[in-house]
Amino acid sequence: MPLPKDLKRTVVIENVAPTVAGGRYPIKRVVGDVVEVTADVFKEGHEVLVAFVRYRRADETAWREAEMRPLDNDRWTGRFVPDANARWVFTVEALPDPFQSWLVDLRKRQAAGQDLASELLEGAALVRAAAGRAAGADAAALRVIAARLAEAPSDAGLFHDPVLGDLMRWGLDRAEATWCEYLFEVVVDRERARFAAWYEFFPRSARGDGRHATFRDAEAMLERAAAMGFDTVYLPPIHPIGRAHRKGRNNALTARPGDPGSPWAIGAAEGGHTAVHPELGTLADFDRFVARAGTLGLEVALDFAIQCSPDHPWVREHPEWFFHRPNGTIKYAENPPKKYQDVYPLNFVGDDPGPLWEEMKRVVEFWIGHGVRAFRVDNPHTKPVRFWEWLIREVQAKHPDAIFLAEAFTRPAMMRALAKAGFTQSYTYFTWRNGQNELIDYFSEITRPPVSEYFRGNLWPNTPDILHATLVQGGPPAFRARLVLAATLSSLYGIYSGYELCENVPREPGSEEYLDSEKYEIKRRDWSAPGNLTEWITRVNAVRRAHPALQRHDNLVFPVCDDPNVLWYGKWTPARDDCVFVAVNLDPFGRHATMADVPLWELGLAHDAAYEMHDELSGTTWQWRGPRGYVELDPHSRPAQIFHLRR
Amino acid sequence: MPLPKDLKRTVVIENVAPTVAGGRYPIKRVVGDVVEVTADVFKEGHEVLVAFVRYRRADETAWREAEMRPLDNDRWTGRFVPDANARWVFTVEALPDPFQSWLVDLRKRQAAGQDLASELLEGAALVRAAAGRAAGADAAALRVIAARLAEAPSDAGLFHDPVLGDLMRWGLDRAEATWCEYLFEVVVDRERARFAAWYEFFPRSARGDGRHATFRDAEAMLERAAAMGFDTVYLPPIHPIGRAHRKGRNNALTARPGDPGSPWAIGAAEGGHTAVHPELGTLADFDRFVARAGTLGLEVALDFAIQCSPDHPWVREHPEWFFHRPNGTIKYAENPPKKYQDVYPLNFVGDDPGPLWEEMKRVVEFWIGHGVRAFRVDNPHTKPVRFWEWLIREVQAKHPDAIFLAEAFTRPAMMRALAKAGFTQSYTYFTWRNGQNELIDYFSEITRPPVSEYFRGNLWPNTPDILHATLVQGGPPAFRARLVLAATLSSLYGIYSGYELCENVPREPGSEEYLDSEKYEIKRRDWSAPGNLTEWITRVNAVRRAHPALQRHDNLVFPVCDDPNVLWYGKWTPARDDCVFVAVNLDPFGRHATMADVPLWELGLAHDAAYEMHDELSGTTWQWRGPRGYVELDPHSRPAQIFHLRR
């Protein structure tokens, strides 16, 4: 075996953090975040080392750098702030500092009264070499010092001049520095990738009177969503809906005349994934809808569901993209023994899947061309993880502001893999985590490293597919409590419209399907119906916007609280200048009072500190002192409290 | 960006274990070990997967494989046994099994009473394709079944024939399987790399009468070492010793006439690293010494110290390998203000270090040519870690039986890095860990993953450089206790001769240097002096050989014991057919009695089981019942007990 290259680059740089799977996948941050980089940095012998975080945008070539400092046991730390929405890379560079190393030894030799003549000649040579490398004023200054050293070759004191120290540090020869063997990626998203409130609605129901609405009608829904404080509206598929095997109301095998069908049966004679359902309007209407959303501070998220109705143009144009029976016909979706005759899945492992991959990219870029920057991806776990890794990287290379939300409720390893592969946000098991212990366990897992480095949970108390028993049984108190949990356990959450009306009738007892599901029909709704939660939701969204502590997904802490019916948690900013504590009554049927801990030490408060706990929901302020406080919750009058801790 | 390759290889294979730093460094095993491989294995959709550990010797091309089985949550496990002393590689291969996936769905369709005509045609096509791929008897059998299926195309029952299942499993088309992105290395050492007892002695002192001994004289020491049960004798450097600036007794700056000098001042007119010190004999005498060791079941380990006396031939032949002063003279070693005028360090970061690297390899291979397979490397942390990674890999490529022991007592990160880089064994902080808590903490760290995957601690209660205060103050009881600790906390340990005589006079109070250190003079010793530990050492080594549980470095458990003066630990084989518990009195001045836990559940014993605890040192047997027992230790009569748990 030949000798390796660069034999003189001998610094060991290891255990770099934060990374995902040793650097195989990027970590995720948002613009303006501080990226704290740590690494083991050491080399043979006893020289003084210097180390730098080297970082740059992946699409640029010029490196920037930040100096690292040693912590202990050869662990070093440095930080940088990515200032643009882009993919970034970083690594660590380190090298010995010959002048500093020499100076440290010189001091020891001086202290021991040794003869320094030869050492001082070495020091002078280092200064001359630095003068030769330097430019401008530094070079001039070094030449002056070098001349002075030549005049007084035995004056060791000249070397302790701090100006010389600075000049030598700035002029360090980095040519033979060691770089870490790996480049680590950081996907730096825009702020809304981490802090957002989504509101899902079917635009076709926007009239509320049972007649098919248009995008124009749906502008009223934008105003409602904005007024409630949401910032993202997410629309189920807006494309032409197939007619063949169209499902009827309540998922009936055959549609009756006038049944609108499921929007997830995408494609008809009027077009496929890049067309708009004619009854909603035209592409121009959609553009207008997006523009109107923009003026309200909302962005529009589309559903990206890679599947086709039998009427989709691709079925005719690209039959090779589908699965075929021995008789040559195309297979519909099945999960035996269940059959979904209105939907054809696409075949990602056919003989030549490349054109299909490229077409999927074209679809996403088409909608980006129409002002869409957020995609809720339907069932990503039924397509190859590698496909998503490629697609998202490709799209974000040109459109770094694109956000992808993975709708995967499948197995934990797959959910993590999709997030590692690039999904900006992920659905979670939140919907099925209702008890104190299971909430603490699950959120401890997904809000801490390593998972929090790549996984951002977007919490949904309901979706058109999931009406959980907690809401069915618990009614309005449960709706209020689960909303607060979703909105404060993560910085990302969403609700599906109807939640504000506490809609909770299942198709049959024990079912998680809604009765008269909106997936198969147009809903009538009275948004001002008595008992609606509009005001509660509006207040919670306002609290989220007022508190930076609630705008991160990775700062959740569960202090002790005595009552298993109460979830008690805190979030604060890194500077601890915004501290929020939340108490939620998990029992929709009973009042609960409990003592709850406040980790004063972690907040920089004295053990016996007095402070105010201001409930942002009720407006009430309590005076607390010391590390425990009393919390009382009532499912009807006070199902939750969001305390702002005021020093 | 172009599409990636192999779009159809969509299985995700992640979190493979055991690995070191995600595969950057090899794990270590010995021949015959079971390597248990686990990995997350999953893909999109719901197909039935199969997975295999693929493994081979790194120097061969043919893969072998072992089938993996799913544990839970997409975690799979498989195992293989490397059967040769070599570097190996392994990875994981996985793919969907189309026939099994189809069969699972078929059963569900059958149960639901669905029309199966089209499905059965698909199944028959899978069988025909398998028949086409298969060879010999399998092909014939598959053709017969395919013909039967063609005759009875609607007989679903034919597909449930287990013979068909086996044939389809064996004939699975692996062409489009997914392989893990990484190859993981395993350094598979010979048994002695993990289980060995080293005995260090200066051959020049072998006569014991103060006169310089030869290798022939030293054969008596081989017999002593073998009789005590050691299997490796380690010799400080055996090369010509420099005359310039030779150190005198007790490290005096100037040697008196007749002072032999330090063996670590390597090189003189008679030669350097590939020569033998003339007073020890010739290279032929060394060969005879190695052969004699072999007949006694001993192997000879040499010291590999990369440094030179001023008289070393390299100084003349390769002045460019050394550090120079401004006046052109060569620098001696310094750790300012300390000076080591008798030693020149070598410069691994000079302008062209390649030839120096190659020469170091030549030196090691020279001694391998003379029957040496084990090297104790002096101060490896003062040479580049990359150099060791290259050297050890290069040497082991040709000589996989070569063992390298790193003498680094430096910072933890460097000690770990050297082990990761390839050192077979490592010195440890054992010498400075004497209290119960610090022993438990340190050994919990180095005997468990990840550290135990690459780091094997070789424990030394003394060395020519280190006489710890515990031995100085504790005397013979401490010598007995520390010997048992070294010999049983790890499977690798060693002593420096004189330990058996409880030599413990420091150069001055508080010093860790021996008075009249053997490094600078020839010692007189009476091996049969009263109070010697020869019998104790012999017994401990015999116990180690009798108990497979004591022959591993990674199976150490610390059950609870009440007295902080007692260290209580257990080791057992994976099959739990050999279980050993050790109690050591850490207090050389007092008797201690304590209750000590036995984790019966982990040993497969009932909570109230009765069992014998046979002390292998005293020969006494106690009857214990249940999960706690009583242990009594006396520093003089019973400083330690090594219990064999007999069911």
pLDDT attached to residue A148: 95
Contact B386 A10 (CB under 8 A): yes
User: Which whole number is the average pLDDT over B209-221?
Assistant: 97
Candidate from B3, B73, B382 with C-beta closest to A412: B73
Confidence of residue A2 (pLDDT cuts 50, 70, 90): confident
Residue A122 and residue B8: Cβ atoms within 8 Å? no
CA B569 from centroid of its chain's CA atoms = 20
Interface of A with B in 522-551 (CB under 8 A): none
A417-457 tens-digit pLDDT: 999 999 999 999 999 999 999 999 999 999 999 999 999 99
A429 touches chain B (CB under 8 A): no
What per-residue confidence (pLDDT) applies to A539?
Answer: 98
Mean pLDDT of A133-143: 95
Q: What is the pLDDT of residues B42-80, one digit of tens each?
A: 999 999 999 999 999 999 999 999 999 999 999 999 999
A/B interface, count of CB pairs below 8 Å: 171
Yes or no, beta carbons of A21 and B44 under 8 Å apart: no
- Using the Cβ of A394 and the Cβ atoms of chain B, whether some distance falls under 8 Å is answered with yes
A602 CA to chain B: closest CA distance, Å? Answer: 27
Q: How confident is the model at residue A299 (pLDDT cuts 50, 70, 90)?
A: very high
Which of B 134-193 lie inside 8 A of A, CB atoms? Answer: 181
Question: Is B24 close to A73, i.e. CB distance below 8 A?
Answer: no
pLDDT score for B499 = 98
Asked if A8 lies within 8 A of B349 by C-beta distance, the reply is: yes
Token pair for B538: 């012999």
Give A321-342 pLDDT, tens digit per residue: 999 999 999 999 999 999 999 9
Position A33 pLDDT exceeds 80: yes
Q: Is the pLDDT of residue B241 over 90?
A: yes
pLDDT for residue B302: 98
pLDDT digits (tens, 9 = 90+) for A104-121: 999 999 999 999 999 999
Q: What is the pLDDT of residue B527?
A: 97
Q: Do B386 and A353 touch (CB under 8 A)?
A: no
CB count, 10 Å around CB of A639? 26
Residue B1 has pLDDT above 80, yes or no: no
Query: Distance, in angstroms, between B53 CA and closest chain A CA?
Result: 20
DSSP annotation of B141: H
Per-residue model confidence (pLDDT) at position B419:
98
Chain B interface, mutation test: which of A100, A340, A386, A398, most B Cβ atoms within 10 Å? A386
Instruction: Answer for the pair B324, B256: CB distance below 8 angstroms, yes or no.
Output: no
Assess whether pLDDT exceeds 90 at residue B85. Answer: yes
Give chain B positions within 8 Å (CB) of A75.
Answer: 413
Taking residues B357-365, report their average pLDDT.
98
Q: Measured between alpha carbons, how far is A627 from A605 in angstroms, rounded to an integer? A: 10
Tens digit of each residue's pLDDT (9 = 90 or more) over A363-403: 999 999 999 999 999 999 999 999 999 999 999 999 999 99
Confidence of residue B141 (pLDDT cuts 50, 70, 90): very high
* Nearest-CA distance B179 → chain A (Å): 13
Q: Point out the residue among B44, B353, B417 whose CB comes nearest to the CB of A381.
A: B44
- Taking a contact as any Cβ pair under 8 Å apart, which residues of chain B between 471 and 530 contact chain A? none
How far is B202 from B199, CA to CA, in rounded Å?
10
A61 touches chain B (CB under 8 A): no
Contacts 24+ apart (CB under 8 A), B330-334: B332/B245, B333/B307, B334/A105
Query: Of B409, B407, B405, B395, which Cα lies nearest the Cα of B360?
Result: B395
Catalytic residue among B231, B303, B359, B407: B407
CB contact under 8 A, A325 and B122: yes
- Which of A299, A311, A342, A407 is an active site residue? A407
Q: If residue B372 lies in a helix (H) or strand (E), which one and from where to where?
A: none
- CB under 8 A, 24+ apart: contacts of B130-133: B130/B99, B130/B167, B130/B168, B130/B171, B130/B172, B130/B173, B131/B171, B133/B171, B133/B173
* B75, closest residue in chain A (CA to CA): A413
Question: Is the pLDDT reported for residue B219 higher than 90?
Answer: yes
- Spatial separation of the C-alpha atoms in residues A8 and B350, rounded to whole Å: 8
| CA separation for the pair A47, A68 (Å, rounded) | 16
Write out the two tokens for A346: 């696409």
Nearest CA in chain A to B177: A349
Phi, then psi, of B404 in degrees rounded to 5 = -120, 125
- What pLDDT does B22 receive? 92
A7 contacts B14? CB cut-off 8 A? no
| Phi, psi for A543 (deg, rounded to 5) | -60, -45
Interchain contact A105–B (C-beta under 8 A): yes
- State mean pLDDT over A335-361: 95
Banded pLDDT at A525 (limits 50, 70, 90): very high
pLDDT surpassing 90 at residue A284:
yes
What is the distance of C-alpha B369 from the center of its chain? Answer: 23
**Residue B584, both tokens:** 């050591």
Mean pLDDT value across residues B505-517: 97
Q: What's the pLDDT score for residue A123?
A: 97
pLDDT at B629 over 90: yes
How large is the average pLDDT for residues B233-257? 96
The helix-helix angle for B283-295 and B215-228 (nearest 10°) equals 20
Write the burial class of residue A110 (CB in 10 Å: 0-12 exposed, 13-18 middle, 19+ buried). Answer: middle
- Residues whose CB is less than 8 angstroms from the CB of residue B369 and which lie 6 or more positions away in sequence, other chains included: none
Q: Which of B6, B7, B103, B120 to mutate to test the interface with A (most CBs of A within 10 A)?
A: B7
- Per the CB < 8 Å rule, is B417 touching A14? yes
pLDDT of A357:
97
From A358, which residue of chain B is nearest by alpha-carbon distance? B3
Sign, Cα dihedral of A2, A5, A6, A11: negative
3-state secondary structure of A540: helix
Taking the CA atoms of residue A120, residue A125, residue A127 and residue A128 in that order, the dihedral angle to the nearest 10 degrees is: 140
Query: Cβ-count burial of B558 within 10 angstroms (0-12 exposed, 13-18 middle, 19+ buried)?
Result: middle
- What is the CA angle A586-A592-A597, rounded to 5? 85
- Cβ neighbourhood burial of B151 (10 Å; 0-12, 13-18, 19+): exposed
What gap in Å lies between CA B156 and CA B455, rounded to an integer?
A: 57
* B12: nearest CB among A105, A326, A417: A417
- Option in A75, A181, A414 nearest B42 (CB): A414
pLDDT at B409: 92
Q: In this structure, what DSSP letter does residue A634 have?
A: B
By CB neighbour count within 10 A (0-12 exposed, 13-18 middle, 19+ buried), where does B489 fall? buried
The whole-number average pLDDT for the span B393-406 is 98
Q: Nearest C-alpha of chain A: how many angstroms from B3?
A: 7
pLDDT above 90 for A635: yes
Kindly state the tokens that stand for B145.
Answer: 């079944």
Nearest to B591 by CA among B481, B488, B504: B481
Q: How is chain A split among helix, strand and coil, in percent rounded to 5?
A: 30, 25, 40
Residue B403: predicted pLDDT = 98
Residue A357 contacts B where some CB pair is shorter than 8 Å: yes
Residues A503-518 have a mean pLDDT of 97
pLDDT confidence tier of residue B324, bands split at 50, 70 and 90? very high
Decide if B390 touches A, using CB distance below 8 A.
yes
Would you place residue A219 in the very low, low, confident or very high pLDDT band (cuts 50, 70, 90)? very high
Length of chain A: 647
Average pLDDT of span B118-135? 96
How much is the average pLDDT of B98-114? 96
- Residue A21: which of B9, B14, B112 has the nearest Cβ? B14
- Is A287 designated active site? no
Is A546's pLDDT higher than 90? yes
Using the predicted structure, report yes or no on whether residue B2 has a pLDDT greater than 90: no
ipTM (interface predicted TM): 0.95
